[in-house]
Structure 1
Amino acid sequence: MLKENISLTQLFTFIVNLLLGSSIVVGIGKDAQQNGWIAILIATLIGVGLMFFYFSLIHLQPNKNLYEIMEYCFTRKVTIILSSIYVSYFLYISARVLRTFGEMITAAIMPQTPLEVIVLSLLFILAYILYLGIEVLGRVSEILSPYIYFSLLFLLLFLPLSGNIQLNRLLPVMGDGFKPVLKAVFPSLLSFPFGELIVFTIILSSINDLKKVGKISLIAVLTAGLQLIIGAVLMIITLGADVNQFSNFPLLSTARLVAVGEFAERLDPLVVFIMILGVIIKSALFLYCCLKGLEYIFRLSYHYFAFPISILTAVFTLLIAANYGEHLAKGHYMLINYFHMAMQLLIPGITFIFLITKVRKQKSEWKTDAGKC
């Protein structure tokens, strides 16, 4: 099948947008309250290690994605089973991202608009982008990313001028010890958003030159981590730890407090703009990985599946939960406790062990054959 390529710049924007995506809006590390930023800092460093692990997996078998590497390590029959699980997982995460976005729009911006209209509108865009291919998605990400970053910068600049900031809300630092911070990191922050870097075990095979990927990935994860830390600090010093913890969309609540004369007031649309762009890219990345799994299983180009799977994702998005509370509960309990660890660490870890063993054995056989010659 025709190989598609993305640039290192596009990879950078993919990583940053995946990590920011919905997490910058819904807020992360809230279980650690005013120490949430410390939890995010620790999780970012672990995220760097995770990205290096995923990169190492691909680096051992260049030009192969996770599905193809699993076939190399196991048999095709076993890999089809594992690939089917990953297809379901990626589709489910894509649906969850879209549901979070839809709930925010209906709850805070367009309460009279049916959730179905919002979800279907966005998924039609995603389906068309993915039908055109990962290269088009890369260009979309490359074009939209500066708008996301400048929007966040705009919010960062005007929030202090609104007079709603109280730095003492960051205190006491680890007043209850290190345990609450550690609890926020493991497993919550480890799996969301940093464990979601698992998608790059599928995407990195689209990059021809892997030499600079490690460096670019490191910078991208640290950049996203820094933005998440700044976002967490802003939400805490503006809303307070308690309000921030129980707010469904703390960044939206924070933006509503911005008031600088008559020049900048209620920056809700800015947050929605950030969310739309982030969700398009993040959800598309997960959906792309789902489609690549189907491509591997059926040996047909993933382009054929773009529209049918997008329709299925739309249906799944609407049926995933009865309300936003149930949606959050399922994500926090079921995903973190059961699925994330297996999909993000266990299966890749076992694959990595088998891969190293097989590569070393192959190298040993080559040396033996060379010695005989």
Structure 2
Amino acid sequence: MEKAKISAIQLFALMFIFDLGTALIVSYGIPAGKDAWIAILLGMCGGILLFFIYYMLFRQYPNLPLTGYVRKIFGNYLGWVLGLLYCLFFLYTAARNIRDFGDLLVSSTLPETPLLAINLSLVLVICYVIYLGIEVVGRTAEVFIVILLLFGIGGNFFVLVSGDVDFHHVRPFIEHGWKPILTTAFPSVVSFPFGEMIVFTMLLPYLNRPQLAKKVWLFAVISSGLILSWTAALNLSVLGVDVMERSTFPTLATIGKVNLFDFIERLDAIVVFTLLMTVFFKSSIFLYGAVIGIVDLFKVKDHKQLILPIGIILIFLSMTIASSFSEHLEEGLGINIKYINVPFFIIFPLFMLISSIIRNYVKKKTD
């Protein structure tokens, strides 16, 4: 690992932007219908429970990343394999986020631009920032979180004063009972984006004041969860549940309806810039987690020599994971959540924590 430190404010900025990610733009929580915003709040509560699992593991191994303490818990062989699987998973998830951004840009703003050109440009910038180090990524996040909040306040203001908002679209609450809400919240909303924060177990050893990790992580989860819930409620109140269910990017459709005095309109750029910022940081963190994990597992002396080769793999993955955006969404909301996210975010960490507690108990008894 590089010799660097990040502050609590930088970690919060990274976590906050990371959590918003693509969830701010795509159809998030929509299987719950009008109650999507409730499902997101419940998913946030599940994300807080997952945090305590990750945090307890961090407290036991404060100087090690995930790939380090998984070998301490499961032994060098099984732990090494599981650590490698996590690195590959981080790389795969980074590719999915880059594909999200590329497809949004192609469908909304740059229809004549090849997807490869967009993905290539984004990945090269990400590789450059990671090459400069995690401190630079943290400082950049400090600046961009302010811009992101200004975009959010501006976008919300224009939507609210546009006259398109009708909160009757959100009512009645819990119209179809709790079942669709609970099945949407668990595991879908819990794993995306709150479970994805497991990648920060690779970054927590860089925190200059480890005692603040708990407050920072909880505040980031709660604040981003509330914003995602509000965004879902606002999209529903503008578009209605029928249009939102059919919309690929409901936030883009919501802000596209703004037309004030036939002068302030076509505010789609706010959504595009927002997604650019959130995907940039989210993909950077996933790619950095994969690079640091591989460095730790293979005992590479300098992580910088791996950044470009892994970046090239990332570009290839982002182009080949799906033949179309509809297939990409179907894979992400179906196979990905059930068979990949649940084991990596819930089952493996829970098993690690239980094994670690048992090992420490046995060790104390024998001592």
Which category describes the TM-score, using the shorter chain as reference length? over 0.9
Does residue 327 in structure 1 map to residue 328 in structure 2? Answer: yes
Does residue 29 in structure 1 map to residue 62 in structure 2? Answer: no
| CA distance in structure 1 between the partners assigned to 2:21 and 2:37 by the alignment | 18
Contact 1:59 1:210 in 2 (8 A): no
| CA distance in structure 2 between the partners assigned to 1:166 and 1:281 by the alignment | 33
Contact 2:27 2:250 in 1 (8 A): yes
Q: Which residue of 2 aligns with 1:314?
A: 315
Matches within 5 A, 1:111-126: 111-126=111-126
Matches within 5 A, 1:217-296: 217-296=217-296
Does residue 207 in structure 1 map to residue 192 in structure 2? Answer: no
Deviations 1:144-191 (A, max 9, x none): 111111101111111111111111101111111111111111111111
Count of residues in correspondence between the two structures: 366
| CA distance in structure 1 between the partners assigned to 2:20 and 2:312 by the alignment | 25
- SS at the partner of 1:212? helix
Aligned identity (percent) is 35
Using the TM superposition, give the Cα deviation of residue 334 of structure 1 relative to its aligned residue in structure 2, in angstroms. 1.4
| CA distance in structure 1 between the partners assigned to 2:126 and 2:354 by the alignment | 35
Q: Which residue of 2 aligns with 1:65?
A: 65
- SS at the partner of 1:27? coil
Give the 3 Å change call, closer, same or farther, for CA 2–87 of structure 1 in structure 2: closer
Q: Which residue of 1 aligns with 2:187?
A: 187
- Normalised by the length of structure 2, the TM-score is 0.97
Letter aligned with residue 4 of structure 1: A
| CA distance in structure 1 between the partners assigned to 2:2 and 2:287 by the alignment | 19
Deviations 1:98-138 (A, max 9, x none): 00100000001100000000000000000111111111111
- SS at the partner of 1:211? helix
| CA distance in structure 1 between the partners assigned to 2:334 and 2:29 by the alignment | 16
Please, which runs of 5 or more residues in structure 1 have no aligned partner?
369-373
- Normalised by the length of structure 1, the TM-score is 0.95
Q: Which residue of 2 aligns with 1:17?
A: 17
| CA distance in structure 2 between the partners assigned to 1:323 and 1:50 by the alignment | 32
Moved more, 202-211 or 82-91: 202-211
Q: Which residue of 2 aligns with 1:305?
A: 306
| CA distance in structure 1 between the partners assigned to 2:161 and 2:167 by the alignment | 14
Contact 1:95 1:317 in 2 (8 A): yes
Does residue 336 in structure 1 map to residue 340 in structure 2? Answer: no
Contact 1:65 1:203 in 2 (8 A): yes
- SS at the partner of 2:349? helix
Contact 2:26 2:249 in 1 (8 A): yes
Moved more, 119-128 or 198-207: 198-207
| CA distance in structure 2 between the partners assigned to 1:197 and 1:2 by the alignment | 21
Using the TM superposition, give the Cα deviation of residue 208 of structure 1 relative to its aligned residue in structure 2, in angstroms. 3.4
| CA distance in structure 1 between the partners assigned to 2:325 and 2:86 by the alignment | 25
Does residue 144 in structure 1 map to residue 144 in structure 2? Answer: yes
| CA distance in structure 1 between the partners assigned to 2:13 and 2:54 by the alignment | 17
| CA distance in structure 1 between the partners assigned to 2:210 and 2:21 by the alignment | 25
| CA distance in structure 1 between the partners assigned to 2:117 and 2:246 by the alignment | 28
Contact 1:18 1:278 in 2 (8 A): yes
Please, which runs of 5 or more residues in structure 2 have no aligned partner?
none
Moved more, 256-265 or 77-86: 256-265
Contact 1:40 1:229 in 2 (8 A): yes
Using the TM superposition, give the Cα deviation of residue 263 of structure 1 relative to its aligned residue in structure 2, in angstroms. 4.8
4+ residue runs over 6 A deviation: none
Using the TM superposition, give the Cα deviation of residue 141 of structure 1 relative to its aligned residue in structure 2, in angstroms. 1.1
| CA distance in structure 2 between the partners assigned to 1:82 and 1:93 by the alignment | 16
| CA distance in structure 1 between the partners assigned to 2:251 and 2:38 by the alignment | 18
Letter aligned with residue 344 of structure 2: M
Deviations 1:189-224 (A, max 9, x none): 111111111112211111132212111211111110
Contact 2:7 2:209 in 1 (8 A): no
CA RMSD, Structure 1 to Structure 2 (Å)? 1.3
- SS at the partner of 2:211? coil
Q: Which residue of 1 aligns with 2:94?
A: 94
| CA distance in structure 2 between the partners assigned to 1:18 and 1:57 by the alignment | 21
Using the TM superposition, give the Cα deviation of residue 329 of structure 1 relative to its aligned residue in structure 2, in angstroms. 1.0
- SS at the partner of 1:26? coil
Contact 1:54 1:200 in 2 (8 A): no
| CA distance in structure 2 between the partners assigned to 1:56 and 1:264 by the alignment | 49
